[in-house]
Homo-oligomer: A and B are copies of this chain.
């Protein structure tokens, strides 16, 4: 057994049962963003979180243990994603990558926005010209150490 198999079981159970990530998150007591990433094999759960998820998706005790093991992260099958929705994010990195870099350095100096001490919120933004996806990202600025 591996974490990948547990992830596939969760995804299949979600389809079979017609669950929603937002409802799973409410049961787990965490945000829908973190909960979805955790169920998709990118985050590590506590024993209690794993128990709740295990109940929702009919996981065995051993499968619940896997949810508490730190996974090998990275959710994409290719370095450049083929799926159009995910590719658009890759495209943003490609088109705006140097802009992110310039503006963060201008504001903070040399360093990075952490992808670890990081949270995000994804929501619908109503708009008469067509609703929009709104994503708020917040990552701690980490200055480069000099020594």
Interface residues of A (CB under 8 A from B): 1-2, 8, 11-12, 15-16, 18, 20-22, 30-34, 36-37, 40, 42-44, 62, 65-66, 69-70, 72-120, 122-125, 127, 129-147
Known: A37-B99, A73-B84. 17 other contacts (CB 8 A): A16-B65, A30-B147, A32-B103, A36-B99, A70-B105, A70-B110, A75-B98, A84-B95, A84-B112, A100-B135, A107-B124, A108-B131, A108-B133, A111-B116, A112-B116, A116-B143, A119-B145
Give the secondary structure class of A's interface.
mixed
Copies of this chain, whole number: 10
Q: List, in ascending order, chain B residues with CB within 8 A of A33's CB.
A: 96, 99, 103, 147
The one of B90, B94, B125, B131 that contacts A75, using a Cβ cutoff of 8 Å: B94
